[in-house]
Copies of this chain bind each other. A is one copy, B any other.
Amino acid sequence: MLQSIRKAEDQAAADVAALMADVGRRARAAARRLATCSPQLKNDALLAGAAALRADSAAILAANALDVADAQARGTKGSFIDRLVLDPTRLEAIAVAVEEIAALADPVGRVLARWERPNGLRFERVATPLGVIGVIFESRPNVTADAGALCVKAGNAAILRCGSESLRTSGAIATALRQGLARAGLPEDSIQLVPTADRAAVGLMLAGLDGNVDVIVPRGGKSLVARVQSEARVPVFAHLEGICHVFVHAAADLDMARTIVLNAKLRRTGVCGSAETLLVDRACAETHLRPLVTALLDAGCAVRGDAATQAADPRVTPATEEDWRTEYLDAIIAVRVVDGLEDAIQHIETHGSHHTDSIVTADEAAAARFLAEVDSAIVLHNASTQFADGGEFGFGAEIGIATGRMHARGPVGVEQLTSFKYQVRGTGQTRP
């Protein structure tokens, strides 16, 4: 009995392995075709995909209704359901987003650098696609369209792995995009949705599918990203968390500081660019600390502070060491008084997550030092940390934000989904 169960399990594992190996091979073949196709063809495919999303809307919404009903029957919590559910407005937004990606400048073939050597050789560093991108995400079905379209725009094949709860919805969306690819004469396998809910598929993607996955992009909560970062044998574009700081320097204008702090913390509290810690320079604490803390509290934000901050308002609760390292993703902020610029930088380097940090100051020299010395993907002067977003950078759309130091750092848009090669043109040169 046990033996026959084991045999069945072995068979299932072998099936998933064979399935995923095939997915990888198909992706590589599609990527080779995409890598050299014209910008027009990719755009045709994306626009036809957007049209198919609209034409198939009844089928997509029906698939979504089934996913939602199942999730509700399992007692899934409301915020999850909210991310999962589609309606005609949300579906139209998904189609429009695909059209906007089609309208972006083509990132492939850009000449990134050009120079000539004394021997007459002419060098060009030219942008090329990365290859095959594996995207692992949770509930939001729009990621199927966004990530698929961004990958194709940059000439890459996408292997999309959604959460099991959205498999029907994501499948219907992927089908529409694949129709668009087929209509343009491009390989449908440029966008593949992993067709099984078997969790072993994720492990196989992280292992690289025999060299057929070039990079993994996890889109989801901290536990997903942590698993991907610890297990992946291929490069990962991701951030584990965004412990973002606003440092109000001695030379900060109070009104500007208040406006920026409120926006950085409260515009949206659940995004990675929301501020989690406010650092106030001791040199301006007497004038700035209480107004900033009061404004946050009055706006409905809980404040956890050091002794000086607690003294500023009775509603402040004590901050522990843990608070300096916590990504609340909620209307909670940790506040600390620091001894000037150096101490602020030291705090950020010790407790931050190298994501996004901002200084508010009228002192250009202090700002320049902060921007140079804070080792984060995005550093801002006199602006809100909530600008940590590919759209706000002008990238058009992003597949995520990365805090690694390699290749892509900060918002990952279509340009960051490319690699490069050197094209060298000569007239018969040989090397002495």
Binding site for B on A (CB under 8 A): 32, 35-36, 109, 115, 117, 121, 123, 128, 130-131, 214-215, 235, 253, 256, 259-260, 262-264, 267, 349, 367, 371-373, 375-384, 386-387, 389, 392-394, 405-407, 409-410, 419-431
Task: For A259, give its contact among B371, B381, B386, B428 (CB under 8 Å).
Answer: B428
A378 touches B421 (CB 8 A): yes
Measured between beta carbons, the chain B residues less than 8 angstroms from A372 are 36, 109
* Nearest residue, chain B, Cβ from A420: B409
Main secondary structure of the interface of A (DSSP, over half): mixed
* Nearest residue, chain B, Cβ from A117: B394
CA distance A376 to B424 in the complex (A): 12
What's the number of copies of this chain in the assembled complex?
2
A422 touches B407 (CB 8 A): no
A429 touches B379 (CB 8 A): no
CA distance A373 to B35 in the complex (A): 8
A/B interface sample: 27 pairs, CB < 8 A: A32-B349, A32-B375, A36-B372, A121-B383, A123-B394, A130-B405, A215-B406, A235-B235, A253-B428, A259-B430, A260-B428, A376-B421, A377-B422, A378-B424, A379-B423, A379-B424, A381-B423, A383-B426, A383-B430, A384-B429, A384-B430, A386-B430, A387-B424, A406-B419, A407-B407, A409-B420, A409-B422
A387 touches B429 (CB 8 A): yes
Measured between beta carbons, the chain B residues less than 8 angstroms from A253 are 428
* Nearest residue, chain B, Cβ from A382: B426
Q: With A267-B431, A431-B387 as given contacts, are A371 and B423 in contact (CB-CB < 8 Å)?
A: yes
B429 touches A235 (CB 8 A): no
Interchain nearest-CB distance for A176 vs B (Å): 29
CA distance A256 to B427 in the complex (A): 8
Interchain nearest-CB distance for A14 vs B (Å): 23
Measured between beta carbons, the chain B residues less than 8 angstroms from A267 are 430-431
* Nearest residue, chain B, Cβ from A35: B375
B379 touches A421 (CB 8 A): yes
Q: With A117-B394, A405-B419, A424-B381 as given contacts, are A263 and B376 in contact (CB-CB < 8 Å)?
A: no
A431 touches B373 (CB 8 A): no
CA distance A410 to B389 in the complex (A): 31
A422 touches B410 (CB 8 A): yes
